[in-house]
Chain A
């Protein structure tokens, strides 16, 4: 253990902290570090493969003799299979395997039968030929309806009746009394109801896998954001040892939180591959993807916020209800961020007959923050105060304080007009919202780094790339340590035969494997320098790797020449993510972000267009600003889509989905994407030896809130429900 003085924070707000650096670990990066490639715009190493179609996704895997599997989903929201007649399907030429998958059905789309056939066409015929006699039972798919006293029980639950399940109930201090007291002391109290919709993940690559057996060894080309969780859950379901299952995910087409373990259909795919003795592919249809592969729960948020007349936020009381379908998982992040005197969040999960919710890019947050940030603006309005000023008065985070200034400048907050002001039908408005996230890097991953005698550098991590750029990040870390260009580093990711990496959930990947990759490179560099020093008869401590060369000798040696001096064919080290590596002092307890939106609303038709979004986002040390901007852009685009367009529509009568495609389930298109000014805000964070933190999710938190506030500013009326469609805008304006 050695002690290092670190300089943390950002320009204008710095602090010194003492770090305990474990033996054999490099000095943590901080404001004093002189970094060469880290912190520069490095294009995604596999970008060209992706845009040219060379990158092979699970969807693209084809093997000789491969069979196609699919599932027949329940057409009913609640039913029981009385009788199943699969004879006609089984007799079709080319149908190779068929099994029932469930008979007690709680939501439309729930798997009833699985089939494997020689082609997609035969599979389609087989699914159509299956006759199921359903006993159709009462269902409820609507959140409000499910809360009614006589609503059908959507799913049986342990320890209680009814569809409303008490969720988190957090109070600050000693409970409800404190919030009541805060309200009582307030000068203004605002009480409002906000609503958000169900959003489906709509991964471009649907869920699924291609399975191949060789003896008792199974290989799965899985579209997953957690290779090792997939390996583990699949092995468990098949009663295999994890070592008998190899998961390969070199590229995957989006997960957003919906692709962790192996799903029932993946297990079926593996069984069908075994039963037919052929490679088997099962990728969900677009309809199934909407129905059974996860969603973001909706929410009803009844909020009471209070403040003193000088703009001190006092009480925040939120009672919420939402449905995660058959899963009781409709938590919301509201209240949050601001320093209320007292707060209470009383949350309820409402069971309905719909596919289960799954984690979705910043779970609980976009929905919570749409209401939270709307409420802050509504309080500001009551107080007659600028909403940005109210935030700055009550926001304890030092990074956000600076980000408010940067963002306000970039959007031109000074132009903001009074609510609803302006001539003509097209009204412009500005809005702001904050973001938070936890520093989610954590111990436990390993990364292997190998240097060959020929000077080649190879890095391997079994973790996957959910789209954030894992490959590029690994290359960057190693290149920085070895004094090379990132393109000189060959990377393999997504094979469970390589060192363990966490699932990509909670934005953990980069901050968890970054320090470990650096560690691996640092250790293998040590080996290289010692070996070379021995050959040359110099002190290893005098040698260094920089600019593609070995320096510290009389004449610098090119990296490859230095490697040629190795006495063995290759040297290798595995960086291990120990607890100590992640125990550096921290600058701030949370990741911070701020977004500003400018909208234009046609008050005659209710049409909202987002003109511009400025997103200032902290993610600790920004390892690659280009990749960071790409994450921010993606999050903002998804946020605009959530704010204006996306919504799962279930028909209350049948419980079936009315828009199970990508035409009627509206996702933002290029013409509706605003100008996005993505500003990665680098903070020397400490935490680990690389100081990186979470980025994938936090910029997805505030977009809808900022847009909602901008709309209210534009039209002088508030839409408290997502998505903000023309009908709601016209209703808010009293036109309908």
Chain B
């Protein structure tokens, strides 16, 4: 077993300081993502800094990064203020995993692409010149239909699309202080050798996430399709949020998961809906627009169809 030093921290900023001092150190939430990487010897950290002991006092409208998916999934307040976030958390993984998995870890988790996760394979994110999933004959049934930046992995997080749809802001701490980052800006284009899907620098940690309950968050819904009903990641997912005023779409968010290397916001489809009434024809048009620019791989054309259907279902449900 690879040996590392193990540290605990009282606060996120203390943890950030501990990380900043050690270029080969990794932060650990519940470790559900991290331990798999360790076991496969994909990473060999010098130190692990555990965030598991951090407790921040509850504050209204603030979700500490250590909030578990289980807590989010049964939050009565969220059921009213942001149902899509609650649903996204409740649908993830399994009860055991949700009891441990943290919000921070969920947002910063790594893709489940088997070429990334398996030491037997070459992976662009891990520094190889090519993306194995895009090679001829590759197994890419679960991959991106919007590959980007030379990578075709699918982003695994259920929570990120919801938080992006809700215009949520992450408080990011580092040894030098803290800054506010819209959750949407936590994610950037993949690049060769860039392991993480986030834009966070080494030593930066998500301390909390907040969102303003708005008509958008209140009228929001999460839809996903997975092959297995538990212990599985989504084939495709979508969060739709709708602000209808006087029969017209005042604002709308359509953010998709598991279809691109990062959460995928369908701005074309959003634009098409704004200012107009919402009916079946508009819904069909918008769903088609969501996937209009899809460039599926050899083995995942079905994800285009599935995503389109999920968008239709989500919008229909919100329109009721």
The answer to the question of A303 belonging to the interface, with a C-beta cut-off of 8 Å to chain B, is: no
Q: Which residues of chain B have C-beta atoms less than 8 A from A606's C-beta?
A: 302, 305-306
Q: Choose among A124, A669, A730 the residue that contacts B230 (Cβ–Cβ < 8 A).
A: A669
Q: Which of chain A's residues has its CB closest to B113's CB?
A: A658
Q: Which of chain A's residues has its CB closest to B296's CB?
A: A736
Q: Which of chain B's residues has its CB closest to A727's CB?
A: B302
Of B132-140, B186-194, B269-277, the one touching chain A: B132-140
- How close is B229's CB to chain A, nearest CB, in angstroms? 4
Of B114-122, B169-177, B195-203, B246-254, the one touching chain A: B114-122
Q: Which of chain A's residues has its CB closest to B307's CB?
A: A605
| A653 and B302 contact, Cβ closer than 8 Å, known pairs A125-B1, A659-B114, A669-B229 | no
Q: Choose among B1, B112, B132, B227 the residue that contacts A653 (Cβ–Cβ < 8 A).
A: B132
- How close is B31's CB to chain A, nearest CB, in angstroms? 15
The answer to the question of B185 belonging to the interface, with a C-beta cut-off of 8 Å to chain A, is: no
Q: Which of chain B's residues has its CB closest to A735's CB?
A: B305
Q: Which of chain A's residues has its CB closest to B231's CB?
A: A669
The answer to the question of B52 belonging to the interface, with a C-beta cut-off of 8 Å to chain A, is: no
Of A9-17, A183-191, A388-396, A644-652, the one touching chain B: A644-652
Q: Which residues of chain B have C-beta atoms less than 8 A from A668's C-beta?
A: 228
Query: In the complex, are the beta carbons of A607 and B137 less than 8 A apart?
Result: no
Question: Which of B92-139 touch A at CB < 8 Å?
Answer: 94, 112, 114-115, 118, 120-121, 132, 135, 137-139
Query: In the complex, are the beta carbons of A672 and B302 less than 8 A apart?
Result: no
Question: Which of A715-736 touch B at CB < 8 Å?
Answer: 725-727, 730-731, 735-736
Q: Which residues of chain B have C-beta atoms less than 8 A from A730's C-beta?
A: 302, 305-306
Query: In the complex, are the beta carbons of B309 and A605 less than 8 A apart?
Result: yes
Query: In the complex, are the beta carbons of B229 and A666 less than 8 A apart?
Result: no
Query: In the complex, are the beta carbons of B41 and A128 less than 8 A apart?
Result: yes
A252 to B285, CA, bound (A): 57
The answer to the question of A671 belonging to the interface, with a C-beta cut-off of 8 Å to chain B, is: yes
Question: Which of A667-682 touch B at CB < 8 Å?
Answer: 668-672
The answer to the question of B148 belonging to the interface, with a C-beta cut-off of 8 Å to chain A, is: no
Query: In the complex, are the beta carbons of A736 and B301 less than 8 A apart?
Result: yes
Q: Which residues of chain A have C-beta atoms less than 8 A from B225's C-beta?
A: 605, 607, 726
- How close is B64's CB to chain A, nearest CB, in angstroms? 28
Scoring A residues 620 to 664 as 1 if CB is less than 8 Å from chain B, else 0, what string do you get?
A: 000000000000000000000000110001011110111110011
Scoring A residues 148 to 190 as 1 if CB is less than 8 Å from chain B, else 0, what string do you get?
A: 0000000000000000000000000000000000000000000
Query: In the complex, are the beta carbons of B309 and A651 less than 8 A apart?
Result: no
The answer to the question of B235 belonging to the interface, with a C-beta cut-off of 8 Å to chain A, is: yes
Q: Which residues of chain A have C-beta atoms less than 8 A from B135's C-beta?
A: 653
The answer to the question of B317 belonging to the interface, with a C-beta cut-off of 8 Å to chain A, is: no
The answer to the question of A23 belonging to the interface, with a C-beta cut-off of 8 Å to chain B, is: no
Query: In the complex, are the beta carbons of A124 and B114 less than 8 A apart?
Result: no
Query: In the complex, are the beta carbons of B302 and A736 less than 8 A apart?
Result: yes
| A726 and B306 contact, Cβ closer than 8 Å, known pairs A664-B114, A666-B228 | yes
A730 to B305, CA, bound (A): 8
Q: Which of chain B's residues has its CB closest to A664's CB?
A: B114
The answer to the question of A691 belonging to the interface, with a C-beta cut-off of 8 Å to chain B, is: no
The answer to the question of B232 belonging to the interface, with a C-beta cut-off of 8 Å to chain A, is: yes
Scoring A residues 123 to 146 as 1 if CB is less than 8 Å from chain B, else 0, what string do you get?
A: 011001000000000000010000
The answer to the question of A216 belonging to the interface, with a C-beta cut-off of 8 Å to chain B, is: no
The answer to the question of A121 belonging to the interface, with a C-beta cut-off of 8 Å to chain B, is: yes
Query: In the complex, are the beta carbons of A605 and B306 less than 8 A apart?
Result: yes
The answer to the question of B141 belonging to the interface, with a C-beta cut-off of 8 Å to chain A, is: yes
Scoring B residues 301 to 315 as 1 if CB is less than 8 Å from chain A, else 0, what string do you get?
A: 110111001100000
A664 to B40, CA, bound (A): 15
Query: In the complex, are the beta carbons of B120 and A108 less than 8 A apart?
Result: yes
Q: Which residues of chain A have C-beta atoms less than 8 A from B305's C-beta?
A: 604-606, 730, 735-736
The answer to the question of A75 belonging to the interface, with a C-beta cut-off of 8 Å to chain B, is: yes
Query: In the complex, are the beta carbons of B137 and A652 less than 8 A apart?
Result: yes
Query: In the complex, are the beta carbons of A651 and B229 less than 8 A apart?
Result: no
Query: In the complex, are the beta carbons of B138 and A727 less than 8 A apart?
Result: no
A664 to B301, CA, bound (A): 20
Q: Which residues of chain A have C-beta atoms less than 8 A from B310's C-beta?
A: 605
Q: Which residues of chain A have C-beta atoms less than 8 A from B41's C-beta?
A: 128
Query: In the complex, are the beta carbons of B228 and A726 less than 8 A apart?
Result: no
Q: Choose among A604, A607, A652 the residue that contacts B227 (Cβ–Cβ < 8 A).
A: A607
- How close is A698's CB to chain B, nearest CB, in angstroms? 27
Q: Which residues of chain A have C-beta atoms less than 8 A from B304's C-beta?
A: 736
Query: In the complex, are the beta carbons of B228 and A656 less than 8 A apart?
Result: no
Q: Which residues of chain B have C-beta atoms less than 8 A from A124's C-beta?
A: 1
A651 to B305, CA, bound (A): 25
- For chain A, the count of residues having a C-beta within 8 Å of the partner chain is 40
Query: In the complex, are the beta carbons of B139 and A670 less than 8 A apart?
Result: no
A659 to B235, CA, bound (A): 16
Q: Which residues of chain B have C-beta atoms less than 8 A from A120's C-beta?
A: 1
- How close is A175's CB to chain B, nearest CB, in angstroms? 39
A663 to B94, CA, bound (A): 12
Query: In the complex, are the beta carbons of B302 and A726 less than 8 A apart?
Result: yes
Query: In the complex, are the beta carbons of B232 and A666 less than 8 A apart?
Result: yes
- How close is B139's CB to chain A, nearest CB, in angstroms? 5
- How close is A712's CB to chain B, nearest CB, in angstroms? 19
Q: Which residues of chain A have C-beta atoms less than 8 A from B300's C-beta?
A: 727
Q: Which residues of chain A have C-beta atoms less than 8 A from B114's C-beta?
A: 649, 658-659, 664
Query: In the complex, are the beta carbons of A671 and B139 less than 8 A apart?
Result: no
Query: In the complex, are the beta carbons of A651 and B121 less than 8 A apart?
Result: yes
Q: Which residues of chain A have C-beta atoms less than 8 A from B112's C-beta?
A: 663-664
- How close is A69's CB to chain B, nearest CB, in angstroms? 16
Query: In the complex, are the beta carbons of A651 and B230 less than 8 A apart?
Result: no
| A121 and B1 contact, Cβ closer than 8 Å, known pairs A604-B309, A653-B135, A726-B235 | yes
Question: Which of B277-316 touch A at CB < 8 Å?
Answer: 299-302, 304-306, 309-310
- How close is A725's CB to chain B, nearest CB, in angstroms? 6
Q: Which residues of chain B have C-beta atoms less than 8 A from A644's C-beta?
A: 227
- How close is B269's CB to chain A, nearest CB, in angstroms? 18
Query: In the complex, are the beta carbons of B139 and A658 less than 8 A apart?
Result: yes
- How close is B259's CB to chain A, nearest CB, in angstroms? 14
Q: Which residues of chain B have C-beta atoms less than 8 A from A649's C-beta?
A: 114, 139
A690 to B139, CA, bound (A): 51
Query: In the complex, are the beta carbons of A731 and B230 less than 8 A apart?
Result: no
Q: Which of chain A's residues has its CB closest to B233's CB?
A: A663
Q: Which residues of chain B have C-beta atoms less than 8 A from A108's C-beta?
A: 120
A736 to B307, CA, bound (A): 13
A682 to B140, CA, bound (A): 48
| A726 and B229 contact, Cβ closer than 8 Å, known pairs A653-B132, A659-B114 | no
A725 to B225, CA, bound (A): 12
Q: Which of chain B's residues has its CB closest to A607's CB?
A: B225
Question: Which of A593-626 touch B at CB < 8 Å?
Answer: 604-607, 609
Scoring B residues 1 to 21 as 1 if CB is less than 8 Å from chain A, else 0, what string do you get?
A: 110000000000000000000
Q: Which residues of chain A have C-beta atoms less than 8 A from B2's C-beta?
A: 125
Q: Which residues of chain B have C-beta atoms less than 8 A from A604's C-beta?
A: 305, 309
- Which has the most chain B C-beta neighbours within 10 Å: A645, A651, A660, A725? A651
A657 to B306, CA, bound (A): 27
| A726 and B227 contact, Cβ closer than 8 Å, known pairs A664-B114, A731-B302 | yes
Query: In the complex, are the beta carbons of A672 and B1 less than 8 A apart?
Result: no
| A725 and B227 contact, Cβ closer than 8 Å, known pairs A125-B1, A604-B309, A658-B139 | yes
Q: Which of chain A's residues has its CB closest to B309's CB?
A: A604
- How close is A592's CB to chain B, nearest CB, in angstroms? 32
- How close is B85's CB to chain A, nearest CB, in angstroms? 22
A605 to B234, CA, bound (A): 13
A645 to B141, CA, bound (A): 13
Q: Which of chain A's residues has its CB closest to B120's CB?
A: A656
The 7 closest A-B pairs by CB, nearest first: A671-B229, A656-B120, A727-B302, A121-B1, A658-B114, A652-B137, A604-B309
12 other A-B residue contacts (CB within 8 Å) besides A651-B132, A725-B141? A124-B1, A604-B309, A606-B306, A651-B115, A653-B138, A658-B115, A669-B230, A671-B228, A672-B229, A727-B299, A735-B302, A735-B305
Show 21 A/B contacts (Cβ-Cβ < 8 Å), sorted by A. A75-B120, A108-B120, A121-B1, A609-B229, A651-B120, A651-B132, A652-B138, A654-B121, A656-B121, A657-B120, A658-B115, A659-B114, A660-B118, A666-B228, A669-B228, A670-B230, A725-B227, A730-B305, A730-B306, A735-B302, A736-B302
